[in-house]
Chains A and B, each alone.
Chain A
Amino acid sequence: MSTHRHRRFDRRTAEQLLRDAQSPGRPAAPDALGELLHAAAGPAREGELAGEQAAVAAFRAARLAPAPLPRRRTMIKTTLAGMMAAKILAPVAAAAAVGGITVAGVTGTLPLPEDTPANPPAQQPTTTPRSVIPTQDNAATPAAPNPSLTGLCQAYTSGVATAEGKAMDSPAFQVLIAKAGGEDKVTGYCAHRLADRSGAPQSVPSTGPTTPPHPTGRPSELPGVPDEDRPDRSTHPTGPPTSKPAHPIGSPTAMPPAGP
């Protein structure tokens, strides 16, 4: 029995124990506490990865429809690019003017940044040749026929639902079930949707601009409050929405620096 070894350990020993627990081998100095920590950090159990397909489905859906956040960043970048271009263009325009060339319209409006497609930090939709998303990814992509649902359907038909009962319980699939009108109708709904998508690659749905926001997220009307987008929780009995931003932790996309 080696439990007496750690009766009085100092901070240095504690730090060592905390770090050792993450190394894959057995603890260097095996005692009960070291073994306990090591076991707590043990390898993944099968059930712990049950949500993988649903997460991947969400990933696919997110790829098909760029998130509002990068879009906003893109706009900032565009603005910055415009400012940079203004600095660069000004002397050029001045030189051109001196040279007697007509440059009316160039110096004032700076059209160049507008014509240059902004390079979004999000990946280009290279894998969406069959989709009906307009090529101008900077636009509000209203014509996409709920690509998130299509992604969910792909995940569904690839055998997720049957493989893991838990997967269908995930919020993403709950959305799909709600959209289909019941769990038993998902198969038919997805068959229809996927057939539509592959069969009519050119069809830009006329209902595009009025298509409601994608149910799996992207609340473009709430870009700063990413927490409240869960569609199946439309009612929040606790507290008004104005209390949400006052969160003690800060934005998940930019972790606040905790000064030492």
Chain B
Amino acid sequence: MSVQDDPSPPLAHRMADRELSAAVVAAQRGDEDGFRLAYRAVQPGLLRYLRLLVGSDAEDVAAESWLQIARDLPSFSGDGDGFRGWATTIARRRALDHLRRARRRPVVEAGVEELSVLPGDADTADAAMTALATDAALALLARLPREQAEAVLLRVVVGLDAKTAGRVLGKRPGAVRTASHRGLRRLAEHLEQAGVTLSDSAALTDMR
């Protein structure tokens, strides 16, 4: 592999992982607040990833996943990063089971339309714009071939390193890197063809 082995993640992310580690340890001792913190840290990325896999059923699959996470938490051992990977593995298995039950192929492009989340009361226009940009970005990511979309989402949105993402996907870290790099290249081409920047959210939405 020509790429150097997993360089350490950015500082901000590492600190979040440390907090997550503490929260998970607290939750394993039975602390409800610790569990809440872990949920809030992991759930948004998990849900975005699940939406790629199962579309509008993502909320249901996420709820099932958290039932299992809560139940099996005592058996987990590892740090915050490991917890992200563990939870994502559970969620992905649930998603694939869900798809098998529904006897249909994973949806990649469908379901993203439902992503538009109504901003809450306290949301400023700024936050609404951020949400819009997030939706647009996820919609573009969902247009990638599934292997690439999964790799990019696991790394960027769920926040896993290539090694942990590889464990979730049952692949080698190098394969995850290759898939995510190809995905980025393709995304860059999409953007170039459209001639947009992401701050131009309307243009992105039109691209869908």
Contacts and interface: CB of A to CB of B under 8 A. Distances in A.
Contact of A55 (B63, B138, B157): B63
B170 A249 contact: yes
B113 interface: no
Given A48-B44, A48-B117, A11 B141 contact: no
Contact of A236 (B101, B140, B169): B101
B19 interface: no
B68 A226 contact: yes
Interface stretch (A20-28, A83-91, A204-212): A20-28
B177 A256 contact: no
Given A14-B180, A22-B9, A249-B92, A70 B74 contact: yes
B133 to A, nearest CB: 4
Give the interface centre of A217, A248, A249 by most chain B CB atoms within 10 Å: A249
A239 to B, nearest CB: 7
Interface string B63-94: 11011111111111000000001100110111
Contacts of A37: 137, 152, 156, 184
A43 interface: yes
B151 to A, nearest CB: 9
B196 interface: yes
A166 interface: yes
Contacts of A60: 32
A3 B130 contact: no
A96 B72 CA distance: 44
Give the interface centre of A1, A59, A69, A259 by most chain B CB atoms within 10 Å: A59
Contact of A41 (B68, B159, B173): B159
Contact of A252 (B28, B89, B134, B199): B89
Contacts, number: 264
A51 B175 CA distance: 33
Contact of B131 (A14, A45, A61, A216): A45
A251 to B, nearest CB: 8
A46 B177 contact: no
Nearest to B193: A3
Contacts of B90: 252
Contacts of B97: 227
B111 interface: no
Contacts of B18: none
B13 interface: yes
B72 A58 contact: no
B33 to A, nearest CB: 10
A255 B181 contact: no
Interface in A8-41: 9, 11-12, 14-15, 17-25, 31-33, 35-37, 39-41
Given A36-B198, A56-B36, A216-B67, 4 more contacts: A39-B136, A52-B39, A58-B66, A255-B86
12 contacts: A11-B3, A21-B156, A25-B12, A32-B198, A35-B133, A48-B43, A121-B74, A227-B93, A255-B168, A258-B171, A258-B172, A259-B172
